């Protein structure tokens, strides 16, 4: 089987090309010894490994180390080097380093449409002759030229002997690259360099506003608020309300009627345990889908790279660079990949600090809890309430970061380099695929982990050592009552709220499914009787900050050891208790 390594700078369309070539024949794992994603795909009898996006092979970052080790140890049959035609100078520097591995190379010259918009008319044949490397002209985002490239990969590729780019010094290498770029342009066009430099693209014009040091922050907050408005006011929450108020009660009544002749315990297990537990979570699917559709639009449009750059100054207050903002953004989805992606940061200090801060960013598992309580206690202002919670999580992460920067994580700051891709209209196909994967993951979790735990919670809430019991005399009530005094100063010292938080350590969505079982009936009706408005806010703050799920704790253990995992678990509990205590008691003084 032919093995091909796909290599290139970040944001040059490498993943788009990889997805186009391999289709659904992809496998995601981790590189041996690290948690940077290893993505492999197949096209006919060709195995393609998508190496991490890098700017050079200087073994500075984990991505560079991985790529360098792969080329040296795996010795692929061919290197497919994807190059951004609109930024040849930076991209060809990596090409100059790849050449020394003596592995056959072909170049996929991508973003030719962007280059043309910038007034750069590159002749691929001239570039091919100058480099001594076969060049294929493509526009990966539109699948232009990809068919010809795929045909070439399965046929006999004319692999030439690359011309050695000067390695005596970095200046000589750049001089050589400049000469090659010059030969790739029409002479008249290249000499008119002032015209090229003054040719402002739409992206340049947008960036003059979006990256403005004064306007950048309110624009970022405004866009995020629109995403939340879309989720909680326009689409997600209205659909969730429709499911909760109509579909779920009707289904419960229908199943209860079907089981009317069965034993009470079995009917209770199915109706109160399974359907109430799983159903109380599934009604929030529209909210999850809406939020991630909004975030995916920002990512695919090219804005999120700008957000990382905007936040660089903010992140440096915590001793981190804007690059650390990317794992935190990933944390909106799930904290596990957020911690794993922090592995790509250059220093141990950056990796640990970013991993510690990531759980303060609310993951999608907490969203149903916030949505439920905010819709009950804030009504039409639920978007503002939930948006404020997210900002509160970011603020707590910021404060913790500042404290740690000046205590246990003192170290010099690292430089931040990021490629800003051209703005583009997100492709419907890509958005649907991303959103579908999120929905599928949520549904899978509902019918596996949450399904199992709902049954367990139902059993513990209906039995004790004597057999079937009333819920207030059950195993669950006994456990909850023992621990509940800890939460009394926070305003929610009932055993039901306590056991919901305990089961939430297994998976945050289980907080709602547990409440669905122990409270019974409609949560929208029961919860206002069990929480005051201030206690509800205190509860949401605790959920926002307290110990992440067991999968996150396991990731901490795998990455940094058991002692570290235990210490951060206790740390999150302390921060959550303190935060809720202040909110509840100060809230009562004010209101």
* 166 and 255 part of one domain: no
The fraction of the chain above a pLDDT of 70, given in percent, is 91
Q: Is 342 left (phi over 0), alpha (psi -120 to 50) or beta?
A: alpha
pLDDT value at position 427? Answer: 81
Looking at the domain assignment, is residue 513 inside a domain?
yes
* 191 and 237 part of one domain: no
**Which residue, of 199, 231, 249, is where some domain finishes?**
199
Residue 191, pLDDT > 50, answer no
* 185 and 247 part of one domain: no
pLDDT value at position 374? Answer: 95
Q: Provide the domain limits for residue 120.
A: 2-199
> Looking at residues 270-289, what average pLDDT do you find?
89
Contacts 24+ apart (CB under 8 A), 217-223: 217/310, 220/307, 220/310, 220/311, 223/298, 223/303
* 194 and 247 part of one domain: no
> For residue 367, what pLDDT band results from cuts at 50, 70 and 90?
very high
- Alpha-carbon distance 360 to 344, whole Å? 20
* 245 and 111 part of one domain: no
Highest mean pLDDT among 112-116, 261-265, 391-395, 447-451: 391-395
* 299 and 166 part of one domain: no
* 267 and 149 part of one domain: no
pLDDT value at position 142? Answer: 87
Helix (H, G, I), strand (E, B) or coil at 26: strand
Residue 403, pLDDT > 50, answer yes
pLDDT tens-digit readout, 503-554: 999 889 999 999 999 987 789 999 999 999 999 999 999 999 999 999 899 9
Residue 442, pLDDT > 50, answer yes
CATH, residue 26: 3.40.50.300
Closest alpha carbon to 233 in 434, 437, 374, 438: 374
* pTM, entire model: 0.78
The pLDDT mean for the chain works out to 87
* 179 and 288 part of one domain: no
pLDDT value at position 155? Answer: 78
pLDDT value at position 187? Answer: 52
Q: In the Cβ-directed half-sphere of 425, how many Cα atoms lie within 13 Å?
A: 3
**Can you give the length of the chain in residues?**
591
> Looking at residues 313-342, what average pLDDT do you find?
85
**Which residue, of 138, 172, 199, is where some domain finishes?**
199
* 326 and 402 part of one domain: yes
- Alpha-carbon distance 510 to 445, whole Å? 10
pLDDT value at position 166? Answer: 58
Q: Of 104-118, 154-168, 215-229, which range is least confident?
A: 154-168
* 481 and 443 part of one domain: yes
Looking at the domain assignment, is residue 394 inside a domain?
yes
Dump the DSSP string for 267-294. Answer: HHIIIIIIIHHHHHHHTTHHHHHHHHHH
pLDDT tens-digit readout, 507-520: 899 999 999 999 87
Looking at the domain assignment, is residue 211 inside a domain?
no
* 115 and 169 part of one domain: yes
What's the burial of 575, exposed, middle or buried (CB within 10 Å: 0-12/13-18/19+)?
buried
Residue 189, pLDDT > 60, answer no
């Amino acid at each position: 089987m032919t093995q091909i390594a796909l290599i290139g700078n970040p944001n040059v369309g490498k993943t788009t090309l990889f997805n186009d070539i391999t289709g659904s024949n992809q496998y995601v794992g981790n590189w041996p010894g690290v948690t940077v994603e290893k993505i492999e795909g197949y096209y006919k009898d060709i195995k393609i490994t998508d190496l991490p996006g890098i700017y050079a092979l200087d073994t500075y970052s984990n991505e560079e180390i991985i790529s360098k080790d792969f080329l040296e140890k795996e010795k692929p049959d061919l290197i497919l080097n994807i190059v951004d035609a609109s930024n040849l100078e930076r991209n060809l520097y990596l090409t100059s380093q790849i050449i020394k591995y003596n592995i056959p190379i072909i170049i996929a010259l991508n973003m030719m449409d962007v280059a043309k918009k910038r007034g750069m008319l590159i002749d691929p044949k001239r570039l091919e002759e100058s480099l001594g490397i076969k060049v294929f002209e493509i526009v990966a985002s539109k699948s232009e030229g990809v068919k010809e490239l795929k045909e070439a990969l399965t046929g006999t590729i004319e692999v030439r002997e690359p011309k050695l780019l000067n390695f005596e010094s970095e200046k000589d290498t750049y001089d050589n690259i400049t000469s090659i770029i010059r030969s790739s342009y029409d002479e008249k066009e290249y000499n008119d360099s002032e015209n090229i430099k003054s040719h402002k693209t739409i992206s340049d014009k947008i960036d003059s506003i979006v990256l403005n040091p004064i306007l950048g922050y309110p624009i970022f907050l405004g866009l995020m608020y629109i995403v939340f408005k879309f989720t909680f006011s326009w689409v997600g929450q209205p659909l969730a309300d429709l499911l909760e108020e109509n579909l779920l009660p009707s289904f419960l009544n229908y199943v209860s009627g079907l089981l009317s002749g069965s034993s009470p315990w079995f009917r209770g297990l199915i109706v109160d345990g399974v359907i109430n537990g799983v159903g109380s979570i599934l009604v929030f699917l529209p909210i999850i889908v809406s939020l991630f559709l909004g975030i995916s639009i920002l990512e695919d449009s090219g804005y999120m790279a700008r957000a990382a750059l905007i936040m660089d100054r903010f992140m440096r207050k915590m001793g981190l660079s804007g690059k650390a903002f990317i794992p935190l953004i990933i944390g909106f989805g799930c904290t596990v990949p957020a911690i794993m992606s922090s592995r790509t940061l250059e220093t141990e200090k950056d990796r640990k600090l970013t991993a510690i801060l990531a759980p303060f960013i609310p993951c999608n598992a907490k969203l149903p809890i916030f949505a439920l309580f905010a819709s009950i206690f804030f009504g039409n202002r639920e978007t503002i309430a939930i948006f404020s919670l997210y900002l509160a999580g970011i603020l707590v992460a910021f404060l913790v970061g500042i404290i740690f920067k000046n205590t246990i994580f003192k170290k010099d700051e690292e430089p931040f380099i990021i490629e800003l891709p051209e703005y583009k209209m997100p492709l419907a196909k890509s958005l649907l695929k991303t959103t579908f994967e999120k929905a599928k993951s949520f549904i899978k979790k509902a019918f596996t982990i949450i399904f199992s735990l709902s049954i367990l919670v139902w059993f513990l809430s209906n039995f004790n050592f004597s057999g079937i019991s009333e819920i207030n005399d059950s195993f669950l009530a006994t456990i909850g009552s023992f621990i509940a005094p800890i939460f009394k100063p926070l305003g929610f010292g009932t055993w039901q709220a306590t056991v919901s938080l305990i089961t939430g350590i297994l998976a945050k969505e289980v907080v709602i499914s547990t409440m669905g079982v122990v409270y019974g009936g409609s949560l929208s009706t029961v919860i206002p009787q069990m929480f005051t408005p201030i206690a509800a806010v205190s509860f949401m703050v605790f959920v926002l900050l307290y110990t992440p799920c067991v999968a996150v704790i396991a990731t901490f253990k795998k990455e940094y050891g058991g002692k570290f995992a235990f210490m951060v678990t206790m740390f999150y509990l302390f921060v959550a208790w303190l935060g809720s205590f202040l909110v509840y008691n100060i809230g009562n003084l004010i209101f």
